[in-house]
Structure 1
């Protein structure tokens, strides 16, 4: 019931005060010449404010003692109510209550992403998802990161991302994708295997620190594999020889400007099916079409027809992109 050590400590103090008060009352009435059963009865009646018959026969000392016992009883009663109220509030607002509410929030997520771990790489991923208003949940086993995740206002679970139970609690059966960015390559491989077994269709992006891990992750079922060191090297090379290309990519990032690059997938039943590119994507610049069979068509002809399974990479402002994203 008690949700914190402080509350448990206060509860023990209150319980000790009640027992001490009972002892004080019984001993006091015994010293005033009452038999032990009567002393117990009079103490209980006084503390419960019920009163007892024969109070008029008490001496002035006995009456003063009874009054002091009643006052102390009221004080202890107020303390008991305070401790119970604190326990109830901490149950709703404390760590246990906060985690219950967090789980309710996660249970409501659909078509979301699961981020495994909340290190520097994962924090950057979470920042990008927040910028694009993409729902996600973080799983991390380190309790010391809970304060950081609360500060960043991200939904989270304190658990091991390699746990099947944790992945189920994160909603992997209804998730859109999983980002596996744990520091350990071995754990990333294991998480990928478990996640793929739980949801065969989920998109998995995994991190590989060592070159040898790339093949293992691919075999485990990762759709995309990222090596931070390789990407950093490529980016530095691009900055050295093609800085304007990098500037353009940064400019097209979500949140960096009113313009961005976006990929539009043409699904069965979409209004974009069998429409020419010039009519399907008005107000934006089509950069690339990836056909369902994997064929790439850069700088596509405006009269090109879109088919189910195609993916179109376009560039434009948010007002023009939003209708396309809703298709």
Structure 2
């Protein structure tokens, strides 16, 4: 839509320029050929262009009449062409389109300590939903025009442009931003965006997406603070949950390090080994951080004597495996 609108706007500008030149041609001709003053020549040119049908300002000789015919032929055609192009521009919504983007840019210019999301694919949309849930201001940058309607429906601030361009990042307020989520599906593009954003704002916290093996090292070298591989992390997450059928969810802290830590949510169900037992009996030496009861109450750092009932959700922490919630071999 932007490309079509820009092309149409370019044709309107050319038509307007030609119309101005035609006016200058008519005014100059009447002043030179007929010896009229500027105002009379301008008025005669205007009524000729618009074909309003008034009489001549002054009587014309044969040369003046021939000249008037040329002015009429050129001027009327240009006026009609300009009006048709302007009507098409309005009908296609280009005016609304440009006005909306100007308003969007003004809202972006008013932001500070916000976040940038580069690309609005599945990863970018997931990040946007989290920012919305936290009430954090953010701007989405994506060059795909077919995503604009979706971004409007989602109510997000956005720029339809290439996030790997310096001027685009500046328009998005990268120098005032707090962080950047680089979620483009090209690792090479993510590396370039990271380098560019880091040079524009050395204090920016950058989280970058990596798809290919080895890209994480390049992104970290380019200046990313954290690198996430959605495919690797989702596969690891699925495996961790599959190994623990009684666990509602697993969060691995600093995966891949020598001794990583894991947070696990254990749901107490009817018939489970932990049901109607105390925390100390159910989990032994495993640290229990909190218990969310079935009625919504939360008990932080619960005592070992607390009895667990069906419907409770227990948050535990430990290094690598938590043997109390692993299935028996």
| Cα deviation, residue 13, structure 1 | 9.2
Structure 2 distance, partners of 1:175, 1:228, is: 24
Given the superposition, is the C-alpha separation of residues 81 and 173 from structure 1 closer, same or farther in structure 2, using an over 3 Å criterion?
same
| Cα deviation, residue 233, structure 1 | 1.3
After superposition, residues 23-38 of structure 1 pair within 5 angstroms as none
The TM-score with structure 1 as length reference comes to 0.52
Structure 2 distance, partners of 1:171, 1:195, is: 11
Asked if the contact 1:192–1:222 (Cα under 8 Å) also holds between the matched residues in 2, the reply is yes
In structure 1, the partner of 2:185 is 183
Given the superposition, is the C-alpha separation of residues 123 and 52 from structure 1 closer, same or farther in structure 2, using an over 3 Å criterion?
same
In structure 1, the partner of 2:158 is 156
Asked if the contact 1:113–1:175 (Cα under 8 Å) also holds between the matched residues in 2, the reply is yes
In structure 2, the partner of 1:294 is none
In structure 2, the partner of 1:24 is none
In structure 1, the partner of 2:114 is 112
Residue-pair matches, total: 233
Counterpart selection for 2:96 from 93, 97, 110: 93
Structure 2 distance, partners of 1:81, 1:161, is: 37
In structure 1, the partner of 2:134 is 132
Flag structure 2 segments of 5+ consecutive residues without an equivalent. 20-32, 35-40, 60-74, 252-264, 266-295, 304-314, 316-329
After superposition, residues 74-85 of structure 1 pair within 5 angstroms as 84=86
Which structure is higher in helix share? Answer: 1
After superposition, residues 262-273 of structure 1 pair within 5 angstroms as none
Q: SS of the residue aligned with 1:211?
A: coil
Asked if the contact 1:7–1:86 (Cα under 8 Å) also holds between the matched residues in 2, the reply is no
RMSD: 5.0
Question: What per-residue deviation string (whole Å, max 9, x for no partner) do you get for residues 257-311 of structure 1?
Answer: xxxxxxxxxxxxxxxxxxxxxxxxxx99586xxxxxxxxxxx499xxxxxxxxxx
In structure 2, the partner of 1:206 is 208
Structure 2 distance, partners of 1:201, 1:88, is: 44
Q: SS of the residue aligned with 2:214?
A: helix
| Cα deviation, residue 168, structure 1 | 1.6
Q: SS of the residue aligned with 1:172?
A: coil
Counterpart selection for 2:220 from 218, 222, 239: 218
Q: SS of the residue aligned with 1:109?
A: coil
Asked if the contact 1:45–1:52 (Cα under 8 Å) also holds between the matched residues in 2, the reply is no
Question: What per-residue deviation string (whole Å, max 9, x for no partner) do you get for residues 117-175 of structure 1?
Answer: 22221122122222333211112233443344334332222333222222222111211
Q: SS of the residue aligned with 1:94?
A: helix
Asked if the contact 1:139–1:157 (Cα under 8 Å) also holds between the matched residues in 2, the reply is yes
Counterpart selection for 1:142 from 144, 168, 191: 144
| Cα deviation, residue 239, structure 1 | 3.1
| Cα deviation, residue 80, structure 1 | 6.1
Given the superposition, is the C-alpha separation of residues 78 and 176 from structure 1 closer, same or farther in structure 2, using an over 3 Å criterion?
same
After superposition, residues 174-323 of structure 1 pair within 5 angstroms as 174-242=176-244, 245-246=247-248, 299=301
Q: SS of the residue aligned with 1:121?
A: helix
The TM-score with structure 2 as length reference comes to 0.52
